[in-house]
Amino acid sequence: MADSSWLLVLALSAFSSATLLPGSSEATLIGLHLSQVAPGWLLLAVASTANVVGSCVNWMLGRFAALCAGRRWFPATPEQLDRASDWYRRLGWPTLLLSWVPIIGDPLTVMAGILRTPLWLFLIVVAFAKTARYAALLWLIDLI
């Protein structure tokens, strides 16, 4: 595969990892970095951008989720949404600094959309958190 194809693989992996779909962007990033298919800064830029775009999809889903809440097929009960909303309202947008954490990060980004966190604030915080996570990972790999 050509270098640009590997970047597409990384972008797809990072995007799906940020959505509610399963993914393992960290493993892909590490593998490509160790294989030296592209400079680290480029891998960081591609992974971070795609991961943030995936989180924006979650934010948009959350933005429109309120219209579907309470329907039988909806994945969360009204009680679960109320608990999550109360928690997010209490702690606020700084919880988005945890958007990179597996399992809890995706629901946080959806909840930010449901509770109408401004997109500009969402982008700044999530981009910082996700880029810092990938940068730290690349830095640790280079130390080893």
pLDDT tens digits for range 30-49:
999 999 999 999 999 999 99
Q: What is the pTM of this model?
A: 0.88
Sign of CA dihedral 42, 47, 52, 56: positive
Domain count across the chain: 1
Kindly report, residue by residue over 76-134, the tens digit of the pLDDT.
777 877 888 888 888 889 999 999 998 889 889 998 998 899 999 999 999 999 999 99
Domain that holds residue 47: 3-143
